[in-house]
Structure 1
Amino acid sequence: MSFDSEDTGAAPAPAAKQHISWSDSYTKANTAIKALASIVRYVPASLSSSETPAFSLLHDSEIAAQISDLLRQPDSSAGDNNLCRWLYDTFHSSEPDLHLVVLRFLPIIAGVYLSRVALHKPLAGFEAILLALYAHETVARNGHAVTVTIPDLSHSSIYHETKQTTRTSSTELALAVISSSLEPYTNVRSTKRARIVGVALELFYSKISQIPLQSKLDFCDFCKIWAGEKGCDPSETSKSGKNIKLITENGENEENTAPAGSSISKEEKKKGRIILSRELLQPTLRILGHCMMANHQNKELQEAARAACRCLYTRALHDISPKDILATGSLLRLAKLAEDSAGNEIDYTEITFTNKITL
C-alpha cells in the first residue's frame, strides 16, 4: 500500500461547515477504533462501549503511548506503513474529534519527519499526513491570509493633543499578516517543506486548548532536538534518567539514557538539528507561548516550554539571527512577566545563557 499524489492532495471539508449527527459521529469513531485494533497491540474495550468513542480515543493514554512508540520506529514514515494510512484516513473523516486524534500526534510526526529528512529515508507516509493537514487548511482559508489589524502608529492617538493637521484617515488600521495565503500542493518539495509543516503546526495551535497534555510535552521535547547541540540549555536539568530513542544515521532506533543535566541527550540533539526557518519558528513560538502563559496551565508543561524556548534562544544566539533572538528573548520575558503578575513563586532572576546575557 502506498499513498499517491492525487490521494494526498484531497482535503476534507472544514468541520465547522458540516452538520454531523451523533449516530454518524459514533459510527465513524467506532470504525476508526476497529481499524486501529489491527495496528496496535491492545485496544481497551471501554473505547467502543463509550458514548463518545472519539473523545475517549483522544484522551486514552495507553493507546497514545502505543501509537507514539510506533511513530518512532525506523520504518514508521514509509508510504506503505499501516499506521500512517490509518492516521491519513482518520483525518479525512468529517468527525472533529477524530481530527483532534490525528493532531494529537502531529508533534511526533513533524519532529521525526524533520529529523529524518537529511537521512534520505522513505517519508511518503508522514508526507501524506502533513499534506492532508495542509490541504485542510487551504480549503478552510479559502485563499485568504490570516491577518490581524493594529493601530497605525504614524497617526496621533485620540487621547493626546497634537499640533499636526488631523488626517481623514486617522482611524486607519494597519494590516499585519500572521500567515500568508496558501497554494495547493500535491507533493512535498524541499523548498516548500517548511511551509507545509509550519501550516500543520498552525492548525495544531488553533486547536491546542483541546489537545492532551502529553502531546504538548512531546512538542517541547522536539523543540529542544530541533535546536540541536548548539541550542543546549545549560540551565536545563533532568528529573529522571529516562530512556530516549535516538534516530541514528542508519535509520535504527537505539536506547540511550539521558545524561545528568539534560532531559534530551546530546547525541539526539546533534542528529535532530534542523534549519529553523521563519515558517517553522513562528508557529513554534506561538505554541510555546500558549504552553507557558495560558491560564491554569500545567506546571510541568510550563517548565518544559520554558526550557524549549531557552534552547531556541541559545540556538538563535549561536546562529547570530537578530530576528530570532528578539522573538525568543521577548517570549521569555513575556513568560516571566506573566509569572510575576500571577504571583508565581518560581525564581527567574537567574535565567542566564551561555553568552552571559540574563533575561
Structure 2
Amino acid sequence: MSLIDDEDNTPFETSNTSDLDLKLQSSIETLTQILGPIPSLSSSQDSSLTLLHDTNLTQTISTHLKLPNSGAGNNNLCRWLYDTFQSSHPDLQLVVLSFLPIIAGLYLPRAVLRATSLAGFEAILLALYAHETTSRDGQPITVSIPDLSNSSLYHESKAPIKNKAVELNMTIVSPSLEPHGTVRSTRRARIVGVALELYYKKIALMPISSKIEFCKFCLVWATGKEDGDGEDSVGKKALSGDQEEASSSSNGEHGVDGSKEKREMKEELSEEKSWRRVPLPWELLQPALRILGHCLLGPNRTNKELTDAALAATKSLHARALQDVDSQAILATGSILRLGTMASETSPELDHTEIRDYMNPVISL
C-alpha cells in the first residue's frame, strides 16, 4: 500500500516495485540493528504502515532522538534517517518526515547553545531541503488573491469596462530556493522552514502523535519551556539531575562548599533557560503557523489532545510576537488563535424545523 498522495498531488519519486521492496527490507534490517528486535514489524503484513503508525516504535525512535548526543554526525539513528530518505522509497520518506518535528524541535534550541555537534540533524534537514529544491525546479510558491476592486459577476457595474484583462494579484508564499550544502546561522531558519513546508504538504498523512510533538516544540521555541512547567526541555532536566547529583556528592565531602557549588549550578541553569528560546523569523514562523492551523481547523480537530496542544502553542507564539513587537507575527498568530478558539467553542445544534425570517433577522449584541 502506497502513501504518496498529498494535498497538492506532488508525490515523492517512485521506482519499480521490486526495488522498493528491497529498499524497505534493507531499511528495516538496519533499523533492527540499531534499536534491537522490533516485534511489530515481524508480525505486520505492511511494514511501511507499521513504521509510520506503530506507537511503540515511534516512542522508541523519539527517545533515541532526544538523547544528548543524538544530533552528532556519527549517530547511527541520524544516519539511518538520512539514508532512508535518500532511498527515494515514498513510504519510507514519509516515515522520516514524521520525525521532523522532533528533529527540528531539538535542533534549533541546541544550535542556539552551540554546545554539541549537530551534523546528524543538519544532514537530515539538508536532505529535506534538497528534495524540496529539486521538486520546485527553481520556482516560488505563489497564490492568487482576488481583487476586490473588480465588480462581482452578479452585480451591475457603473465603472467603465477596462479593455485590458483583469490582472491577478499574485502573492509569494515561499520564495524560490537556492541549493545549500551546509547549514550556516544565516540560512538556518530558511532551511528548517522549507523542511516544515514539505511536512505541511504531507501533513494529511502524518500521525497525530507527530503533530502533537510539533505543537509541543513550538511552545519550546517561543518560551524556552516545555508545557509551561518552568523546566527547560530537550535534555536540560537530565543535565540538571546529573549536576545536582554531583553537587550532593561534593557537599558530602566539602560541607558548605558543596552547597555553594550546587547553588551556583542552579543559577547557571536558570540563566541558560532564556537561551533555549529560538529566533522566529517569518520564513520559519509562517510554515509553523500553517501546520498549527491544520491542527486547529483540519480533519483531526476533534482530537482534544491535538487541539489543546495546538492552542497552547499558538498562544505562546502570539505572546512571543507581542513581546518582540512583530506586527506581521502578531496579526498572523492572533488570527489563527481567534479561529482556533471559535472552532473549539461548542455551538448549538441546528434545528432544521425552525422557520427563520431572513427579511427581519434577529441581531444579538
TM-score, structure 2 normalization: 0.78
* Residue of 31, 37, 41 corresponding to 2:32: 37
Contact 1:245 1:253 in 2 (8 A): no
The reply on whether 1:210 has 2:201 as its aligned counterpart is: no
**CA spacing shift, 1:58–1:267, aligned 2, 3 Å:** farther
The reply on whether 1:247 has 2:252 as its aligned counterpart is: no
For 2:335, give the aligned amino acid: S
What SS class does the counterpart of residue 169 from structure 2 fall into?
strand
What SS class does the counterpart of residue 161 from structure 1 fall into?
coil
Aligned equivalent of 1:179: 174
Q: Percent identity over the alignment?
A: 51
The reply on whether 1:110 has 2:104 as its aligned counterpart is: yes
Equivalent residues in 2 for 1:311-350, closer than 5 Å: 311-340=316-345
Q: Distance in 2 between matches of 1:196 and 1:225?
A: 19
Equivalent residues in 2 for 1:346-357, closer than 5 Å: none
Contact 2:129 2:194 in 1 (8 A): yes
* Residue of 59, 67, 78 corresponding to 1:65: 59
Higher helix share: 2
**CA spacing shift, 1:237–1:117, aligned 2, 3 Å:** closer
Aligned equivalent of 1:294: 298
Equivalent residues in 2 for 1:151-230, closer than 5 Å: 151-169=146-164, 171-228=166-223
Unaligned runs of 5+ in 1: 1-13, 256-265, 345-359
For 1:151, give the aligned amino acid: P
For 1:319, give the aligned amino acid: D
Contact 1:74 1:253 in 2 (8 A): no
Q: 1:284-313 deviations in whole A, cap 9, x for unaligned?
A: 000000001112431210111011100101
Q: Distance in 2 between matches of 1:184 and 1:294?
A: 32
**CA spacing shift, 1:137–1:342, aligned 2, 3 Å:** farther
Q: Distance in 2 between matches of 1:95 and 1:343?
A: 47
Q: 1:326-347 deviations in whole A, cap 9, x for unaligned?
A: 1000001122333458659xxx
What SS class does the counterpart of residue 57 from structure 2 fall into?
helix
Aligned equivalent of 1:20: 16
TM-superposed CA distance for 1:163, in Å, is 2.6
Contact 2:113 2:276 in 1 (8 A): no
* Residue of 80, 90, 93 corresponding to 2:84: 90
Q: 1:22-61 deviations in whole A, cap 9, x for unaligned?
A: x433332221111011212x43233144332111111111
TM-superposed CA distance for 1:162, in Å, is 3.2
Q: Distance in 1 between matches of 2:220 and 2:333?
A: 16
Aligned equivalent of 1:9: none
Unaligned runs of 5+ in 2: 1-9, 243-269, 350-365
Contact 2:197 2:287 in 1 (8 A): yes
For 1:315, give the aligned amino acid: R
**CA spacing shift, 1:269–1:342, aligned 2, 3 Å:** farther
For 2:281, give the aligned amino acid: S
For 2:321, give the aligned amino acid: A
Q: 1:180-237 deviations in whole A, cap 9, x for unaligned?
A: 11111111111111000000001111111111111111111111110115xx89xx88
For 2:295, give the aligned amino acid: C
Aligned equivalent of 1:355: none
Equivalent residues in 2 for 1:142-153, closer than 5 Å: 142-153=137-148
**CA spacing shift, 1:227–1:16, aligned 2, 3 Å:** closer
**CA spacing shift, 1:245–1:194, aligned 2, 3 Å:** closer
Q: Distance in 1 between matches of 2:38 and 2:221?
A: 34
For 2:175, give the aligned amino acid: S
For 2:60, give the aligned amino acid: Q
For 1:176, give the aligned amino acid: T
Contact 1:107 1:215 in 2 (8 A): yes
For 2:299, give the aligned amino acid: N
For 1:273, give the aligned amino acid: R
Q: Distance in 2 between matches of 1:272 and 1:68?
A: 20
Which moves more between the two structures, 277-286 or 55-64?
Answer: 55-64
Q: 1:54-109 deviations in whole A, cap 9, x for unaligned?
A: 11111111121111111111111111111110000000112111011111111111
Q: Distance in 2 between matches of 1:343 and 1:336?
A: 16
The size of the alignment, in residue pairs, is: 313
**CA spacing shift, 1:99–1:17, aligned 2, 3 Å:** closer
TM-superposed CA distance for 1:169, in Å, is 3.9
What SS class does the counterpart of residue 80 from structure 1 fall into?
coil
Aligned equivalent of 2:314: 309
Q: Distance in 2 between matches of 1:181 and 1:342?
A: 42
Aligned equivalent of 1:134: 129
Which moves more between the two structures, 188-197 or 48-57?
Answer: 48-57
Alignment root-mean-square deviation, CA: 2.9
* Residue of 42, 66, 70 corresponding to 1:76: 70
